[in-house]
């Protein structure tokens, strides 16, 4: 196995460093892809896994101004290596989060809700009553899209794979605020027309699957609509009929949260307003952590195996 649990010395605290006790860190698909070597960023080995999580500040170097002991922090970017009990990090690699946010919400804050928030904000101007369609709607991002859209009065059409416990999943997504939940097979059925009697056709489609799922989804978009691809779970290319370009002028775009953070490194205001908006939704109970299974760090192997199983509907969270 590529992964082992190791005891390491905690590095010395430099003037601009922060000593953090990690509390909880999720296992995300990107974490697995980084370990497999199939991701766009790869840490020099040996490396600590995990890109996301929440910790508590134990001690700060004498030049550190933005953080103090007791503060809660999350990674400012990817590649921090959050699957550990403690770490010493430069101040600029950490973001302070409010301490009144539940630990599991904070641990899962920096990747999925931010991705959902940006995709809903940055590609199409959506107003209350508008709709979006998304596949893998039960993913971490999918669950956040449902809730953020709901809070803004935007309707969601949520596509999931057919599965043995489908009614249970549908019920869960509806409870989060989904307007419609359909299977990939239903996308090709005439019954889809019934949905559009009560809500407008979507101008935005969010895709993290690829292959047939995406092609079937984009058939329901309005002319000049946008498909945003942020993942490729099916490991198949996005296929678009030529007619969709010529006669409907659809736009195909991509989104990667890591790149957004790089592009907005100097835009402290943009970052702060996104974090405030997301934390506000959490406080109001309009955005919850995805369905989670909490796993002690020593059982990390079980957590990794569970996170790679098909039809996973629960995010594995390492408790540190």
CA distance 88 to 92: 12
Distance CA 260, CA 274 (A): 12
**d(Cα 249, Cα 224) in Å, to the nearest integer?**
5
Q: Are 277 and 65 in contact (CB under 8 A)?
A: no
CA distance 213 to 232: 11
Which residue has tokens 């003037």? 15
Look up 300 and say whether it is catalytic: no
Q: Of the candidates 126, 125, 146, which has an alpha carbon nearest to the alpha carbon of residue 136?
A: 146
Q: Which residues 6+ apart lie within 8 Å of 133 measured at CB? A: 156, 157, 158, 159, 202, 204, 205, 206, 217, 220, 221
Q: Which tokens go with 261?
A: 């953070």
CA distance 53 to 170: 28
Contacts of 257 (CB under 8 A, 6+ apart): 111, 114, 115, 118
Catalytic residue selected from 39, 117, 230, 300: 39
Q: Which residues contact 125 (CB under 8 A, 6 or more apart)?
A: none
Please tell me whether residue 187 adopts helix, strand or coil conformation. helix
Instruction: Decide: 88 and 11 in contact? Cβ < 8 Å.
Output: yes
Among all residues, which ones are annotated catalytic? 39
């Amino acid at each position: 196995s590529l992964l082992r649990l190791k005891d390491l010395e905690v590095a010395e605290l430099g003037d601009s460093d922060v000593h953090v006790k990690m509390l909880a860190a999720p296992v995300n698909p990107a974490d697995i892809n980084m370990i497999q070597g199939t991701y766009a960023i790869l840490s020099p080995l040996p490396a600590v896994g995990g890109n996301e999580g929440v910790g508590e500040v134990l001690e700060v170097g004498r030049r550190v101004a933005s953080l103090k002991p007791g503060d809660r922090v999350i990674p400012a970017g990817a590649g921090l290596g959050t699957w550990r009990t403690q770490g010493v990090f430069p101040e600029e690699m950490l973001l302070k989060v409010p301490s009144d946010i539940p630990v599991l919400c904070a641990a899962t804050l920096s990747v999925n809700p931010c991705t959902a928030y940006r995709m809903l904000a940055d590609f199409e101007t959506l107003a209350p009553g508008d709709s979006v369609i998304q596949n893998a709607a039960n993913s971490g991002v999918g669950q956040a899209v449902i809730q953020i859209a709901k809070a803004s009065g935007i309707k969601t059409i949520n596509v999931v794979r057919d599965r043995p416990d489908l009614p249970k999943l549908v019920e869960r997504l509806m409870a989060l605020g989904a307007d419609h939940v359909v299977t990939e097979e239903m996308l090709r059925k005439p019954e889809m027309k019934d949905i559009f009697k009560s809500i407008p056709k979507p101008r935005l489609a969010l895709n993290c699957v690829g292959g047939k799922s995406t092609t079937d989804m984009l058939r329901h978009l309005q002319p000049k609509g946008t498909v945003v691809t942020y993942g490729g779970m099916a490991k198949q290319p996005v296929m678009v009929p030529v007619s969709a370009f010529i006669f409907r002028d659809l736009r195909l775009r991509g989104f990667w949260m890591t790149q957004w953070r790089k592009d907005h490194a100097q835009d402290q205001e943009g970052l702060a307003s996104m974090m405030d908006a997301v934390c506000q939704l959490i406080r109001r109970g309009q955005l919850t952590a995805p369905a989670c299974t909490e796993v002690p760090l020593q059982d990390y192997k079980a957590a990794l195996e569970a996170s790679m199983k098909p039809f996973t509907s629960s995010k594995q969270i390492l408790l540190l």
